[in-house]
Amino acid sequence: MRKWISFPHREGTVSRQAHADLPAEGIYEREVGRSGFFGPATHLHHKHPPTAWSAWEGPLRPRAFDLNELPQQGGMPFAAASVLKNAHCDFRIWSVDQAMPALFRNGDGDDVLFIHEGSGELFCDYGHLSYRDGDYILIPRSTSWRIEPAARTSMLLIEATNGAYQLPDKGLVGPHAIFDEAMLDMAQIDDAFRAQQSEDEWQVVIKRRGALSTVTYPFNPLDAIGWHGNLAVCRINWRDIRPLMSHRYHLPPSAHSTFVAERFVICTFVPRPIESDPGALKVPFYHNNDDYDEVIFYHAGDFFSRDNIKPGMLTFHPAGFTHGPHPKAFAKAMSDPKKFTDEVAVMIDARDALEQGEGMAGVEWSGYVDSWKPKA
């Protein structure tokens, strides 16, 4: 058994409540925390923005990538460009406009597909699902599947390498908060699924330990006539998520957790009212998340805490430095706050350091690190 050292203490001029009622005008709060947003934390109050650096040298810096500029891929998902990865998570982006020529089975871990653009049909061992933009599709490890796009489809592929996805513990708010499990749509044995069954030759490409094997069948192996159990492909759209909110307190990203794996978590930021209490922060607080790398993929809307970010872009904040809202966004939130945010974004918090995939340097916005500098 072990236990964090606990010594709540106050020193100097402080606020009594984190993220609200700062002790003086022109003061900036910074949260230094462990274990994401669940461990011990201290809130320091600074005279200057903690991100107001004048220069940066070395590889540890905030990065932004425009994934719209990556070469378009087709064919099969294993050919998708790897954006960021570690031993427990592989984050890819894949664009496709033709039906997959074979089935795919990932033996290395569960996959979450997030549909950024497009629509179409997904067929798998468990049946058929239609998909559209904004869908999360959870595919358990070693499930055979394929898609038939009705419109060009761009998606995130988030692999829980050697792991599985579960739902977060919703604690005091109960299991029906954020979204009820009844909102999860299951693959169905419907007319569309039965219609695709045939005696034609099909291949299944299996990925295991990064290597590919191909199994050929003289029939379509998606030939189930029924199933029962509690393991299956399922789907939920961000539009079905009802976020936790507080009009008096800016909630941490962990309040927006959607799926949890062994060494990382997927969160979803969806439209919501902005805090209305006069003393509450209206934008994400400056913070050190010193145990997790933070990744945000921007799907749709106006990204109220960032400048020059558009849908299809991704930001990467490695653990180890202070980050937070851009200066213009922070100033506007304090002087003339919006009443509502319409942003939609997918966030990954990874416990282990993430490495960039090949080709990412070619789509990096190199000026991102300078976007926090005070304007002359």
Annotate the chain with three-state secondary structure. Answer: CCCCCCCCCCCCCCCCCCCECCCCCCCEEEEEECCCCCCCEEEEEECCCCCCCCCCCCCCCCEEEEHHHCCCCCCCHHHCEEEEECCCEEEEEEEECCCCCCEEEECCEEEEEEEEEEEEEEEECCEEEEECCCEEEEECCCCEEEEEEEEEEEEEEEEEECCCCECCCCHHHCCCCECCHHHCEECECCHHHHHCCCCCCEEEEEEECCEEEEEEECCCCCCCCCCCCCCCCEEEEHHHCECCCCCCCCCCHHHHEEEECCCEEEEEECCEECCCCCCECCCCCEEEECCCEEEEEEEECCCCCCCCCCCCEEEEECCCCCECCCHHHHHHHHHCCCCEECCEEEEEEECCCCEECCCHHHHECHHHHHHHCCCC
Contacts of 37-46 with CB under 8 Å at 24 or more apart are 37/252, 37/253, 37/254, 37/289, 38/254, 39/4, 39/291, 40/4, 40/5, 40/6, 43/14, 43/15, 43/18, 43/19, 45/12, 45/13, 45/14, 45/15
Burial class (CB in 10 A: 0-12, 13-18, 19+), 321: middle
128 marked ligand binding residue: no
- Given 250, 256, 317, 326, the catalytic residue: 250
- The reply to whether 46 belongs to the active site is no
Query: CA 288, 134, 268: angle at the middle one, nearest 5?
Result: 20
317 marked ligand binding residue: no
Phi, psi of 69 (to 5 degrees): -90, -5
293 marked ligand binding residue: yes
From the annotation, which residues make up the binding site for Fe cation?
287, 293, 323
Show binding-site residues for homogentisate. 323
Active site residues: 250
